[in-house]
Amino acid sequence: MLEKLTVNLGERGYAIHFATDGADAVRDQVTALAKAGRRIAVLTDLNLQRVHAVAMRTMFKDAEVLAVEPGETAKSVTGLAQVWDFLAANQVDRGGALFAFGGGVVGDLGGFGAASWLRGIDCFQVPTTLLAMVDSSVGGKTGVNIAAGKNLVGAFHQPRGVFVSTALLATLPPREFAAGAAEVIKYGLLGDAALFQQLEQRPLAVSSGDLPAVIRRCCALKARIVEADERETAAEGGRALLNLGHTFAHAVENVAGYGEYLHGEAVAIGLCAAARLSQKLGYTPPADVARIEAVVAAQGLPTRLRAPLPYAKLWAAMTRDKKVRAGGLRFVVLKRVGEAATQSDIPAAHVETSFRDVGAQ
């Protein structure tokens, strides 16, 4: 059964389609575009091309496919140029469409490739990981990493459609599934206390009967936030709330080296650091910090750095982050479980001790 959730953004609005097996829905979209004379191209990675060969043939028929190396290193300026060359070689014009079949890396790279090719072509997201299903495939943030930091080069480019097919998660490695659960925890913390309590009672698993409902719940929360603040311009709160834990996380990924931590693993550590920071600011009681760390650990995620990283480098990475405003860092803090806020006037000493609490040196 195919369910649909609409992201209401006027002419940039689109539907998120939910199904256990959404291959037919993707195939129908591809067929409709082809009948209209539009050229179709597909971006994926080498692992997915091998594991999901049958599903991809069902969805995309004989469309041209570019398969990049798996992992965060593909989300680079070099990877972006590879996408451009692929689109050029296959004569994808302004009426063409790019389907991103993959996790967050493929989705971000494909989205930015589509945003920048011929000043913008349509992109459809077909997420294959839990993280991409609940977060990165929705909202239109696209980009690549450079040496200075994560996602510093990118564009807002809303997809024309998102197809969530939970059957694709059956082949997802446990570590990747856990990484996606970090974003689910984030949604519970920033705006859905009941979801967080549900995760306290039973950790999320591929076999969870409530997994489809949890995915849809996260997408609905993100859709409402994006509708209210599409380009993260609100002075307070707004779309920036989705960055809970991410200022810490992006610094970890940058200093440790892209690929050392999966994005969700870095987010998990970032959520624990954000909880510590919120405690130091007088918002989050120690008991709630312990609850957060317990839920993170129960999902098989790290609550601390696996090996110490120098705080001076972490701080430098944070100051280069795109969330800096007027030269100052803006953090997302927890007022309580289920309610978050943005705050800029945070003493640097609190940031440092919060990072040291999770293993910085």
Partners of residue 44 on adjacent β-strands: 67
Tokens coding 88: 């050029």
Contact 141, 7 (CB under 8 A): no
In the prediction, which pLDDT does 340 show? 98
Q: What is the pTM of this model?
A: 0.95
What size, in residues, is the chain?
A: 361
CA distances for 109 relative to 42, 105, 140, 176, 180, angstroms: 12, 6, 12, 18, 18
Contact 313, 253 (CB under 8 A): no
The CB density around residue 3, as the number of other CB atoms within 10 Å, is 12
Radius of gyration of the chain (CA): 20
Contact 19, 4 (CB under 8 A): no
**What is the distance, to the nearest Å, from the Cα of residue 164 to the centroid of all Cα atoms in its chain?**
14
In the prediction, which pLDDT does 344 show? 92
Give 333-360 pLDDT, tens digit per residue. Answer: 999 999 999 999 999 999 999 999 999 9
Residues 203-216 as b/e (b if ≥16 CB within 10 A, e otherwise) read bbeeeeeebbebbb
Partners of residue 65 on adjacent β-strands: 42
**How large is the average pLDDT for residues 205-215?**
95
Question: Rounded distance, CA 131 to CA 177, Å?
Answer: 8
Q: At CB < 8 A and 24+ separation, what contacts does 166-170 make?
A: 166/18, 166/19, 166/20, 166/133, 166/211, 166/212, 166/215, 167/20, 167/21, 167/22, 168/52, 168/55, 168/127, 168/128, 169/128, 169/129, 169/130, 169/133, 169/206, 169/211, 170/206
Cα dihedral angle (213, 171, 260, 125), rounded to 10 degrees? -60
Inform me whether the pLDDT recorded for 326 exceeds 80. no
**How large is the average pLDDT for residues 104-121?**
98
348 secondary structure, DSSP code: H
CA distances for 260 relative to 70, 90, 129, 170, angstroms: 13, 34, 18, 24
Give 263-320 pLDDT, tens digit per residue. Answer: 999 999 999 999 999 999 999 999 999 999 999 999 999 999 999 999 999 999 999 8
Give 78-110 pLDDT, tens digit per residue. Answer: 999 999 999 999 999 999 999 999 999 999 999
Inform me whether the pLDDT recorded for 322 exceeds 80. no
Give 169-202 pLDDT, tens digit per residue. Answer: 999 999 999 999 999 999 999 999 999 999 999 9
In the prediction, which pLDDT does 168 show? 97
CA distances for 222 relative to 136, 192, 240, 247, 299, angstroms: 10, 11, 11, 18, 22
Inform me whether the pLDDT recorded for 156 exceeds 80. yes
Give 231-271 pLDDT, tens digit per residue. Answer: 999 989 999 999 999 999 999 999 999 999 999 999 999 99
Angle at 201 between CA 238 and CA 203, to 5 degrees: 75
Inform me whether the pLDDT recorded for 77 exceeds 70. yes
User: What is the enclosing helix (H) or strand (E) of 162?
Assistant: strand 161-165
**Model confidence at 327, in pLDDT bands (50, 70, 90)?**
low
In the prediction, which pLDDT does 1 show? 72
Catalytically active residues are: 119, 141, 183, 222, 232, 239, 243, 246, 250, 263
What is the DSSP track for 169-193?
GGGS-HHHHHHHHHHHHHHHHHH-H
Residue-averaged pLDDT of the chain: 96
Residues 72-96 as b/e (b if ≥16 CB within 10 A, e otherwise) read bebbbeebbebbeebbeeeebeeeb
Tokens coding 81: 């140029």
Inform me whether the pLDDT recorded for 323 exceeds 70. no
Task: Find, among 277, 237, 248, the residue nearest to 182 by Cα.
Answer: 248
Provide φ and ψ at 124, rounded to 5°: -115, 135
